[in-house]
Amino acid sequence: MVTSTHEASHRIFQDHPEALAPVFETLGVPLPAKSDIREITPDATEIRPLERRVDTVLKVEPPEGESYLLAIESQTKQDPDKATSWAYYVAYLRAKYDLPVLLVAVCRDRPTANWASGPFECGVGPWTTQVTRPYVLGPGTVPEITDAATVLEQPALAVLSAIVHSESRRSPAILEALLHGLTSFDRDTLKYWCEVLELGLENTPVRRKWRELVKAITNFPGHGTVFEETYLEGKAEGLAKGEATAVLRVLERRGIPVPESARVRIAECTSLDTLGVWLDRSLTATVVDDLFVEGPEET
């Protein structure tokens, strides 16, 4: 397993393209369904000694409108050579698939994000022949997600937020909200996102903060990733408070009134299983009492 931001970005966008929501919102393009997106080979090689690969290439085939390609590159620092290679990627993919190409650069810090936005021009004298202008997913375009309810609704975007805001002053709050939200999912899902985030953070100070929060054990010996199978063993009370906050937050965002008695009942609940059921129900409840109806999941 390659521990890098490149690998994390590839996993996120390949398996969860909904994390690209900021891109589609900015362009005014409808967010495609996952079934409308498929991965195609990232190989942009024509001559084997000059191997070139884009991190991730996705083909978007909406039921209505024109199909197009997303070429996604993770960029952790400024690299003058990218002006040439990015122009090549776009031109090659455009020629090979006869489709328009949107180049997306994922950046963790503002200086790199500002640089990556280009434009990168190719020309002679006053005449410009080609211009490459990536769309940047970075601190200026990805929201800082600091509440567990949003994590529950958009885990892929929340993990991306933690990666691109790893140098933000609010990074600790982002990580804490992310962990509280992720613990609402099943163990396999939690494990997946914990490892993807650790890959994305590489060896930054924030990665160490994440490891401390998770109090993890090595899941793949020799690869440096961590995962706490008991979800912060010994801190169940703190997790319960986080779950209760998430339940109340979802209800608030959905405009469902919560009487004081129900608010107290949710806030004082210490059973993670019960809170998990309530959190699931809060997504579809029409009144707060829908949370407390006994069902199969509580028997």
pTM tops 0.75, yes or no = no
Cβ atoms of 196 and 12 closer than 8 Å: yes
In order along its 299 residues, the chain shows pLDDT tens digits of: 344 677 787 788 888 888 888 988 888 878 887 778 888 865 544 434 334 567 889 999 988 888 999 999 999 899 989 989 999 999 999 999 999 999 999 998 999 999 999 999 999 999 999 999 999 999 999 999 999 889 988 999 999 999 999 989 999 999 989 988 888 888 788 888 988 898 888 877 888 888 888 764 334 344 444 444 444 444 456 667 778 888 898 888 888 999 999 999 999 898 878 888 898 888 888 999 999 987 654 44
pLDDT, residue 52, reads: 55
Could you write out the three-class secondary structure of 188-215? HHHHHHHHHHHHHHCCCHHHHHHHHHHC
pLDDT, residue 280, reads: 84
